[in-house]
Structure 1
Amino acid sequence: MSKRVTFQQSRRPSMSRASGAVVAAGLGASMVFGAGAAFASGTTDTAALAGAVTAADSVAQQATAQGKAAAAAKADKAEKAAAGKKAAAEKKAAAKKKAASWEAPVDKYVLSATYGTGGARWASKHSGQDFAVPIGTKVEAAHSGRVVKAGPNGAGDGPAYGNAVVIKHANGKYSQYAHLSKIGVNVGDRVKTGEKIALSGNTGNSSGPHLHFEIRTSPNYGSAINPVSYLKAEHVHI
């Protein structure tokens, strides 16, 4: 009897230890599983955070790029506007300078008879400078002013001049254009430097197509001065 009791008592601790081992094992597994789940959860949160940071950086970069593009476009627009204003100002200044300056009465020419030349074609010496040009060449006002003579018969200075125009200038000088094929202005018209006033021709006492050009101190024949020297003094070299 006593031996049996002893045997049972000796087995109880063993079962208790086995149960404890099982519980411990279960607890350990649970702890391991929980740790793994926690690790997995932490990994997921970190990835999501990293993705959010990357997306925020991308948005910020796009905003920066768009801001730079907008600033560049604004600067380009301002630069173009400034360039436009500068070009307009330069054009206005050039027009003003041209209005205040003198020029040759034709663009392309060959100089022929000069001022003061003697010969049978003139009653005295040649009173102007001749520009040999084809009939129909554009004749321009050598300087701004007001037309005081225009018409045939030298515009009143005699048939030798053919069709002619005389312009009065603000400095008291007059320019005369003769042997014209066509007159494009009328007495009283105001013209600017370089403005078309007539077409060259071969009218009047002319030996061939050319423009006869004079600078005068009055509107009438007999008051001419050397036109080449005068234009040179006005910085026009022909």
Structure 2
Amino acid sequence: MENLKENQGTSPKETDILDARLERRAFLQYAGAGAAVMALVAAGCKKDRSPSMSFGATLDFKDDIGVLNYAYALEQLEAAFYIQVATNPPSSFTTAQKNYFQDVQFHEIAHREFFKKVLGTSAIGSLDVDFSSINFSDGASVLAAAKTFEDLGVAAYNGAGVRLKTDAYLVVAGQIVSVEARHAAWVRDQISNGSFADLSSLTSLGANVSGGLDAALTPDKVLAAASKYIKTKINVINL
């Protein structure tokens, strides 16, 4: 799925990627439909920038490029996780759970490839992940890891949105975080039925229970929490 095909036909409805079971064909259609958005957003990218990779990956938060690379790093992590689970799901998984990981891997691949294309030569390189703490043969371990990634992802987008100066980027970030929140709710419900709307367990991630606001974390806190899953050294400047 690394090389996404452009769809030259009629674009699918926006809700297809969120509400319907995402098969390979639907995913390719979504990716094609997103090309128009990518073209508009990419217009704001500075193609002459290329962060140094000498000492890992550098996230320079002085402008929108740093925020987009931050999101790209997190989407790389999520995509790698979901691909690994979908390729060889735990034997204890139900059919619905297997279908979820099959479908959501394509959501995360779409997110990852979106940022990669928008950033162009300004994109950081591919990150090396470390999933040694996850037992991929155990359903409970996989669901717990998925919960961590999704909750952290939502908090990351919510915390970084304020740093974006370009309206088009902010709109896309909002569209992506809403999808990640759907993932988080589904996973939580698999672990404990009916817990999908529980904000009290997210207070450590910055959720405001009394205000009904989801979690929000600054990039430094998100990267610290995600560091156990990433081998590549990530340098943060101008935060």
TM-score for both structures, normalised by structure 1? 0.21
> Greater helix share, 1 or 2?
2
TM-score for both structures, normalised by structure 2? 0.21
Higher relative contact order (CA 8 A, sep 6+): 2
> Greater strand share, 1 or 2?
1
User: Which structure has the bigger radius of gyration?
Assistant: 1
